[in-house]
């Protein structure tokens, strides 16, 4: 009987067919893009889609890139365990979209960069650029391995799918379409995967409504269980989720992800005009709203069904990440193929994140570690280099998934580091973009200071997780279960998926209940502020106020703000002698134009 605990059904043959069909479909898109663009094999085509992408597919790709399998599985578990406070991140998405679109996109687009970290060299020096790129490569390779492993483990224990078979298949499929199709394949595959992810959530909600007797009943059960209390205005920075931690800290966290993360920057830079690039972020905002809303309601549906029998406390599952897969097999197994759709949704999130990471890792490696030292490549060599690096990073991510399987509790530390690195890096970019006084000494010193402090608080929080009075888990019961198993008490820890539960250590130092209990959502804000303040002070002390005049293109301009069509078109057309009509045909960026002219000249010289 649904909702009373015990074992659930496993995959049927039709579920395997649907799941396999999704993977084959993803690979087919890569093959199609490879065949379609077989004569267009330049680096710009492979890494930036020829800079001819439009807003809608790029927006869907932006959304899918960070809606990983961990998100698909973990966000509903968050609503089930802690209520819908996580939904307030919708405000953070809006703030992030405005800041990224109006400050960062015009800057990167104007400079015509391929690697986001190229800006650090232009503004500071090559050493800082290399450090920033290295930090990105390490965190992305490890995070991507975890993104492959965590959903595979959860789904393996529920559906019976072979763990390592799925791990390898996931990596190989991503390698195929990233290697053959480049960024275009990644973006168009993300579009398909985004649709599948949303369809998976809809299937869970629709079936749950039928089982429970309507959406109104689900809402009533959630209210009775305290799951609808979203707005907590307590200013305490130690509480895991409040209105202030999510809106203030969450906004900075998401800005650090979307504004300077290579996999995101690479997407909006691929748009054919600045207006399309900005628009893609605003459409992406709507996509994020839809995704988090469906995920939250899926979690409320899960609570309505299991309000009298918590599968985790009852011993039916091992971790909270398995809650949603368990629900799917419990309520959807009567419809062969539908559980396969859900698993495809979870793996679509994984595929989109992995493919985005592979393509971004190739871009930063080529632009930051190869081109600055050696540029005399033929077009054929560039093509093979890009494809070879895609294969290398694909297998590296599979390898990191293997490492993740042996890490145990270190998984939590690794995922927390992914967030902690972004804050100091964002502070470094803002230091360079907003303050002409900032110099390379201040930038490097500020980055090291910010990173050291965020690693200190983050690792400390990993070792000594916040107590229940800070994480505020809501009550659950096993009174309605067929069997009951007493488990050790646990408290929430924020760094795997949103609802992972972690046992407390036997000893807690006094600092654990103050400094180490800082809300994880504030890590990025704290890292950003410490980097900017310390960097600015160091710059002033080391003569930043007296440095020579810097290129104005490296700073935020008032003319960048709230401008969609033909932004700065008059000055671009005057300086580059471009007809106004061409400004909307993928050539409205004078930096891109200069690069294209230079490449054509070099090619003609070789001929």
Q: Which domain holds residue 595?
A: 568-607
Six-digit token pair at 187? 């973006």
* pLDDT of 392 strictly over 80: yes
Q: How far apart (Å, rounded) are the C-alpha atoms in residues 463 and 64? A: 31
Q: What are phi and psi of 502, to 5 degrees?
A: -130, 130
Tell me what pLDDT residue 532 has.
96
Q: What are phi and psi of 311, to 5 degrees?
A: -60, -30
Domain boundary among 361, 384, 405: 405
Q: How far apart (Å, rounded) are the C-alpha atoms in residues 292 and 96? A: 15
* pLDDT of 504 strictly over 70: no
Tell me what pLDDT residue 548 has.
72
What's the mean per-residue pLDDT of the chain? 76
Tell me what pLDDT residue 443 has.
93
User: Which residues contact residue 276 at a Cβ distance below 8 angstroms, ignoring those fewer than 6 apart?
Assistant: 53, 54, 55, 58
How far CA 8 is from CA of 44, 87, 158, 542, in Å, comes to: 49, 30, 8, 66
Confidence of residue 251 (pLDDT cuts 50, 70, 90): very high
- Which is more confidently placed, 516 or 488? 516
Alpha carbon 72 to its chain's center: 12
SS (HEC) of 177-212: HHHHHHHHHHHHHHHHHHHHHHHHHHHHHHHHHHHH
115 within domain boundaries: yes
- Which is more confidently placed, 407 or 7? 7
Q: How far apart (Å, rounded) are the C-alpha atoms in residues 253 and 256? A: 5
* pLDDT of 312 strictly over 60: yes
Q: What are phi and psi of 53, to 5 degrees?
A: -80, 155
554 within domain boundaries: no
The arithmetic mean of pLDDT across residues 405-427, rounded, is 66
Neighbours of 502 (CB within 10 A): 18
Tell me what pLDDT residue 497 has.
36
Q: What is the helix (H) or strand (E) element at residue 491, kind and residue range?
A: strand 491-492
For residues 540 and 441, the answer to whether their CB atoms sit within 8 Å is no
Domain boundary among 372, 388, 405: 405
* pLDDT of 499 strictly over 50: no
With b meaning 16 or more CB within 10 Å and e meaning fewer, what string describes 312-338? bbbbbbebbbbbbbbbbbbbbbeeebb
Neighbours of 437 (CB within 10 A): 16
Tell me what pLDDT residue 606 has.
41
* pLDDT of 523 strictly over 80: yes
501, β-bridge pairs = 492
Confidence of residue 535 (pLDDT cuts 50, 70, 90): very high
Alpha carbon 30 to its chain's center: 21
Secondary structure percentages of the chain, helix, strand, coil, to 5: 70, 0, 25
Confidence of residue 501 (pLDDT cuts 50, 70, 90): very low
- Which is more confidently placed, 405 or 553? 553
Neighbours of 438 (CB within 10 A): 26
Burial class (CB in 10 A: 0-12, 13-18, 19+), 605: exposed
Q: Read off the CATH number of the domain in which 86 is found.
A: 1.20.1730.10
- Which is more confidently placed, 469 or 115? 115
Classify residue 475 by its DSSP letter.
P
The arithmetic mean of pLDDT across residues 22-45, rounded, is 62
* pLDDT of 412 strictly over 50: no
Of the given ranges (209-213, 289-293, 331-335), which has the lowest mean pLDDT? 331-335
The arithmetic mean of pLDDT across residues 154-162, rounded, is 69
Tell me what pLDDT residue 446 has.
95
- Which is more confidently placed, 483 or 206? 206
Six-digit token pair at 463? 């070792």
Tell me what pLDDT residue 181 has.
55
Alpha carbon 500 to its chain's center: 18
Tens digits of per-residue pLDDT, 336-383? Answer: 888 887 777 777 667 767 777 777 888 788 888 887 777 777 777 777
Helix (H, G, I), strand (E, B) or coil at 285: helix
Q: How far apart (Å, rounded) are the C-alpha atoms in residues 533 and 317? A: 46
546 within domain boundaries: no
Residue ranges of alpha helices (H) inside 213-261 are: 215-224, 243-244, 250-260
Q: How far apart (Å, rounded) are the C-alpha atoms in residues 554 and 119? A: 8
Domain boundary among 405, 440, 458: 405
562 within domain boundaries: no
Cut 0.85: pTM above it:
no
223 within domain boundaries: yes
Tens digits of per-residue pLDDT, 566-596? Answer: 444 434 333 333 333 333 334 444 444 444 4
Q: How far apart (Å, rounded) are the C-alpha atoms in residues 418 and 94? A: 22
What does 430-447 look like in DSSP terms, one character per residue? Answer: HHHHH-TT--HHHHHHHH
338 within domain boundaries: yes
Tell me what pLDDT residue 602 has.
45
What total number of domains does the chain contain?
A: 2
Helix (H, G, I), strand (E, B) or coil at 420: helix
Taking the CA atoms of 54, 35, 358 and 115 in sequence, report the sign of the dihedral they define: negative
539 within domain boundaries: no
- Which is more confidently placed, 527 or 167? 527
Share of the chain above pLDDT 90, in %: 18
550 within domain boundaries: no
């Amino acid at each position: 009987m649904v909702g009373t605990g015990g074992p659930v059904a496993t995959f049927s043959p039709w579920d395997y067919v649907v799941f396999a069909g999704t993977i084959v479909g993803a690979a087919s898109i890569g093959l199609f893009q490879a065949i379609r663009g077989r004569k267009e094999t330049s680096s710009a085509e492979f890494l930036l889609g020829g800079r001819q992408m439009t807003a809608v597919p790029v927006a869907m790709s932006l959304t899918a890139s960070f809606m990983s399998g961990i998100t698909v599985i973990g966000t509903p578990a968050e609503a089930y365990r802690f209520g819908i406070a996580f939904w307030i991140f919708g405000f953070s998405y809006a703030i992030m979209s405005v800041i990224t679109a109006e400050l960062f996109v015009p800057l990167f687009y104007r400079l015509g960069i391929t690697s986001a970290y190229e800006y650090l060299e232009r503004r500071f020096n090559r050493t800082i650029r290399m450090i920033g790129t290295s930090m990105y490569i390490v965190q992305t390779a490890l995070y991507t391995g975890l993104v492959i492993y965590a959903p595979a483990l959860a789904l393996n224990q529920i559906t019976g799918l072979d763990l390592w078979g799925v791990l390898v298949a996931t990596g190989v499929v991503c390698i195929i379409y990233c290697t053959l199709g480049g960024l275009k394949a990644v973006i168009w595959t993300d579009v398909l995967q985004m649709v599948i992810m949303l369809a998976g959530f809809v299937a869970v909600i629709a079936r749950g409504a039928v089982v429970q007797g309507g959406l109104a009943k689900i809402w009533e059960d959630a209210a009775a269980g305290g799951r609808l209390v979203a707005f907590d205005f307590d200013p305490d920075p130690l509480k895991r989720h409040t209105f202030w931690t999510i809106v203030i800290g969450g906004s900075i966290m998401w800005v650090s992800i979307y504004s300077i993360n290579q996999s995101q920057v690479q997407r909006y830079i691929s748009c054919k005009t600045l207006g399309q690039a900005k628009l893609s972020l605003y459409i992406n905002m709507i996509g994020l709203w839809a995704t988090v809303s469906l995920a939250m309601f899926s979690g409320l549906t899960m609570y309505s069904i299991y309000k009298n029998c918590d599968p985790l406390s009852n011993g039916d599952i091992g971790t909270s990440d398995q809650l949603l897969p368990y629900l799917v097999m419990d309520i959807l197994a009567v419809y062969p193929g539908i559980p396969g759709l859900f698993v495809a949704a979870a793996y679509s999130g994984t595929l989109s994140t992995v493919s985005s990471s592979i393509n971004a890792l190739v871009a930063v490696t080529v632009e930051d570690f190869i081109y600055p030292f050696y540029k005399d490549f033929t077009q054929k060599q560039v093509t093979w280099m890009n494809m070879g690096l895609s294969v290398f990073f694909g297998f590296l991510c599979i390898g990191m998934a293997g490492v993740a399987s042996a890490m145990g509790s270190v998984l939590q530390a690794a995922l927390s580091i992914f967030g902690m690195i972004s804050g100091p890096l964002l502070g470094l970019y803002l230091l360079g973009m907003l303050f002409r006084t900032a110099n390379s000494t201040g930038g490097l010193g500020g980055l090291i200071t910010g990173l050291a402090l965020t690693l200190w608080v983050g690792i400390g929080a990993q070792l000594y997780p916040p107590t229940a009075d800070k994480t505020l888990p809501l009550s659950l019961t096993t009174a309605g279960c067929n069997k009951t198993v007493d488990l050790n008490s646990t408290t929430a820890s924020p760094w795997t998926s949103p609802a992972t539960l972690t046992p407390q250590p036997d000893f807690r130092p006094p600092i654990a209940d103050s400094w180490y209990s800082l809300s994880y959502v504030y890590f990025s804000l704290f890292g950003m502020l410490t980097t900017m303040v310390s960097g600015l002070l160091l710059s002033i002390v080391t003569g930043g106020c007296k440095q020579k005049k810097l290129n104005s293109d490296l700073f935020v301009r008032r003319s960048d703000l709230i401008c969609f069509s033909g932004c700065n078109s008059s000055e671009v057309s005057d300086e580059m002698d471009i007809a106004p009509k061409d400004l909307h045909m993928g050539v409205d960026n004078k930096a891109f134009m200069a690069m294209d002219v230079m490449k054509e000249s070099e090619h003609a010289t070789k001929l």
